[in-house]
């Protein structure tokens, strides 16, 4: 095999293949088993592969593909073209790759800015999720609506996962901080939820037992008939005071409790109805006593009126109970007569009270003295002939006389 000079290199007689790279000859391989032509074809094919990659890189740059990806490919090609075992104008390929790399500076800066914006937006989105979760977790555990809040927490967790999948990667330190806050809020909410429903379950069990106890007590009262109505009302008040629950046993317990009450009140109604019939004769007696009481003449005959009323009261008590629907009316009529006698008695006492008499006499004496003085002033005014003075003196005199008439009438 003789030496063959080719473009950008040569192959010597021993099968060594050399390439001229940037003006320097470099051994790129030895193929003693190949012919010169085969060796040239083999290493030229390697060059062509590199050239194809450079062409694809240029096309991607022209199409304005992702500059970061293009720059990464360019860096690999620069590494691949450092001292490749290939025959061809390697320096030209390097120049082309460098040109592509240098053309990316503006696009890379723009891409970096957009990436920074995307990172900032992703951080804002995740922080909004965290803040909403913290807001839910911070609610009063006793007042929170756990159904809607649980649904919202689930929605926020789904939003967090979607943000992780669809948005750009954010700095690890910030991502860890936000996740820890989000996780803490969720864990706190779940703890409050478990505690709340555990307490609610315990209260429901206690309420269930309390209602059953009231049912048993109410059913025990049925044997007392109508006499158990007062005790039943107390049990009913205790029932209403219990916390409201939605247990399956509530309706059954209430049905038993109400059935006991219905039985008690039915017995009470029967007894009252029987009593009303039995008390009818008592009513006739009391109505006759009311007619007698209302006919009493009080004025000028107080002592006789009081004696008559005392007799009526004694017979009233002996007459006994009257039907319920007549009780108020009969009692009110009797009290009206008693009140009339009391008013007359009070008035007589007032007029006979020595202190009252002294006060009345004192006022009367003062008024009479005042009237005498005003009569003298009126006579004096008449002698002057001054109509204004006369009218003024007459008015004062008339007022004093009117007061005296009131005092005399009430004495």
182 and 129 in contact (C-beta within 8 Å)?
yes
Look at residues 103, 84, 110 and name the one whose alpha carbon lies nearest to residue 17: 84
Q: Where are any strands of DSSP class E within 129-202?
A: none
For 205-215, the pLDDT digits (tens) are 777 788 888 88
What pLDDT does 409 receive? Answer: 65
Does residue 123 share a domain with residue 78?
A: no
Does residue 191 share a domain with residue 214?
A: no
Both tokens of 310, joined, read 């005392």
Does residue 88 share a domain with residue 24?
A: yes
Greatest mean pLDDT among 109-113, 249-253, 334-338: 334-338
Does residue 123 share a domain with residue 189?
A: yes
Q: What's the pLDDT band for 106 if we cut at 50, 70, 90?
A: confident
Q: Is residue 55 part of a domain?
A: yes
Look at residues 96, 111, 99, 97 and name the one whose alpha carbon lies nearest to residue 64: 111
pLDDT at 358 over 80: no
What pLDDT does 27 receive? Answer: 95
Q: What is the DSSP string of 320-353?
A: ----HHHHHHHHHHHHHHHHHHHHHHHHHHHHH-
217 and 169 in contact (C-beta within 8 Å)?
no
Task: Give the position of tokens 């901080």.
Answer: 177
What pLDDT does 374 receive? Answer: 80
- Round to whole Å and give the CA distance between 341 and 68: 114
Greatest mean pLDDT among 93-107, 348-362, 391-405: 93-107
Q: What is the mean pLDDT of residues 107-123?
A: 80
Q: What is the mean pLDDT of residues 183-210?
A: 84
For residues 16 and 267, the model is more confident at 16
pLDDT at 385 over 90: no
Among 268, 295, 314, residue at a domain's last position: 268
Does residue 41 share a domain with residue 87?
A: yes
Q: Is residue 113 part of a domain?
A: no
What pLDDT does 373 receive? Answer: 81
For 212-233, the pLDDT digits (tens) are 888 888 888 778 777 878 888 8
Among 304, 336, 352, residue at a domain's last position: 352
Does residue 381 share a domain with residue 344?
A: no
CA angle 374, 380, 382 (to 5 degrees): 105
pLDDT at 46 over 60: yes
| Domain total of the chain | 5
Look at residues 371, 293, 367, 296 and name the one whose alpha carbon lies nearest to residue 332: 293
What pLDDT does 357 receive? Answer: 57
Q: Is residue 314 part of a domain?
A: yes
- Round to whole Å and give the CA distance between 373 and 393: 10
324 and 295 in contact (C-beta within 8 Å)?
no
Does residue 375 share a domain with residue 329?
A: no
Q: Is residue 47 part of a domain?
A: yes
Owning domain of residue 250: 208-268
Q: Is residue 111 part of a domain?
A: no
Both tokens of 250, joined, read 């509530």
Q: What is the mean pLDDT of residues 91-103?
A: 94
What pLDDT does 352 receive? Answer: 66
pLDDT at 82 over 90: yes
Provide the β-strand partners of residue 264: none
pLDDT at 91 over 90: yes
For residues 94 and 399, the model is more confident at 94
Q: Which of 88-92, 218-222, 348-352 is the least confident region?
A: 348-352
Among 47, 69, 103, residue at a domain's last position: 103
Does residue 133 share a domain with residue 60?
A: no
Q: Is residue 43 part of a domain?
A: yes
Cα of 197 vs its chain's centroid, Å: 18
- Round to whole Å and give the CA distance between 316 and 287: 10
For residues 364 and 390, the model is more confident at 390
Task: Give the position of tokens 């290493």.
Answer: 43
Q: Is residue 132 part of a domain?
A: yes
pLDDT at 131 over 90: yes
Q: What's the pLDDT band for 320 if we cut at 50, 70, 90?
A: confident
- Widest Cα–Cα separation across the chain: 179
- Tell me the percentage of the chain whose pLDDT exceeds 70: 93
Helix count (H) and strand count (E) of the chain? Answer: 13, 4
What pLDDT does 278 receive? Answer: 66
Does residue 227 share a domain with residue 144?
A: no
For residues 86 and 143, the model is more confident at 86
3-class state of residue 18 by DSSP: strand
CA angle 194, 242, 256 (to 5 degrees): 115
Does residue 51 share a domain with residue 35?
A: yes
What pLDDT does 359 receive? Answer: 61
For 236-254, the pLDDT digits (tens) are 899 888 877 777 788 888 8
Does residue 217 share a domain with residue 184?
A: no
Q: Is residue 35 part of a domain?
A: yes
Does residue 45 share a domain with residue 18?
A: yes
Phi and psi (nearest 5°) for 17?
-115, 130
pLDDT at 1 over 50: no
For 152-164, the pLDDT digits (tens) are 989 988 988 888 8
- Round to whole Å and give the CA distance between 349 and 410: 13
Q: Which 8-state DSSP code applies to residue 15?
A: S
């Amino acid at each position: 095999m003789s030496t063959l000079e080719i473009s950008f290199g040569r192959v010597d007689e021993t099968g060594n293949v050399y390439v001229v790279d940037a003006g320097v000859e470099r051994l790129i391989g030895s193929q003693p088993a190949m012919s010169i032509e085969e060796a040239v074809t083999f290493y030229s094919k390697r060059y062509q592969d590199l050239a194809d990659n450079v062409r694809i890189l240029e096309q991607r740059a022209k199409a304005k593909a992702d500059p970061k990806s293009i720059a990464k490919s360019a860096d690999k090609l620069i590494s691949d073209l450092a001292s490749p075992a290939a025959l061809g104008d390697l320096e030209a390929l390097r120049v082309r790759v460098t040109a592509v790399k240098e053309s990316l500076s503006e696009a890379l800066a723009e891409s970096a800015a957009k990436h920074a914006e995307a990172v900032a937006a992703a951080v804002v989105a995740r922080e909004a999720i965290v803040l909403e979760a913290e807001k839910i977790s911070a609610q009063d555990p006793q007042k929170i609506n756990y159904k809607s809040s649980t649904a919202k927490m689930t929605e926020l967790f789904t939003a967090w996962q979607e943000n992780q999948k669809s948005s750009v990667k954010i700095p690890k330190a910030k991502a860890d901080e936000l996740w820890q806050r989000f996780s803490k809020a969720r864990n706190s909410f779940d703890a409050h939820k478990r505690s709340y429903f555990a307490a609610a379950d315990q209260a429901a069990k206690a309420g269930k037992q309390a209602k059953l106890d009231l049912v048993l007590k109410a059913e025990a009262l049925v044997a007392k008939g109508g006499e158990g109505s007062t005790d039943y009302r107390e049990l009913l008040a205790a029932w209403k005071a219990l916390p409201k629950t939605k247990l399956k046993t509530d309706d059954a317990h209430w049905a038993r409790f109400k059935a006991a009450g219905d039985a008690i009140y039915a017995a009470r109604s029967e007894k009252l109805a029987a009593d009303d019939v039995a008390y009818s004769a008592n009513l006739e007696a009391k109505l006759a006593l009311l007619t007698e009481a209302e006919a009493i003449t009080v004025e000028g005959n107080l002592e006789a009126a009081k004696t008559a009323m005392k007799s009526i009261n004694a017979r009233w008590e002996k007459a006994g109970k009257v039907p319920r629907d007549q009780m108020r009316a009969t009692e009110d009529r009797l009290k009206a007569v008693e009140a009339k006698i009391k008013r007359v008695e009070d008035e007589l006492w007032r007029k006979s009270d020595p202190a009252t008499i002294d006060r009345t006499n004192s006022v009367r004496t003062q008024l009479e003295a005042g009237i005498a003085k005003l009569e003298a002033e009126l006579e004096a005014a008449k002698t002057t002939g001054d109509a204004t003075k006369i009218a003024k003196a007459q008015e004062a005199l008339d007022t004093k006389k009117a007061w005296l008439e009131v005092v005399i009438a009430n004495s």
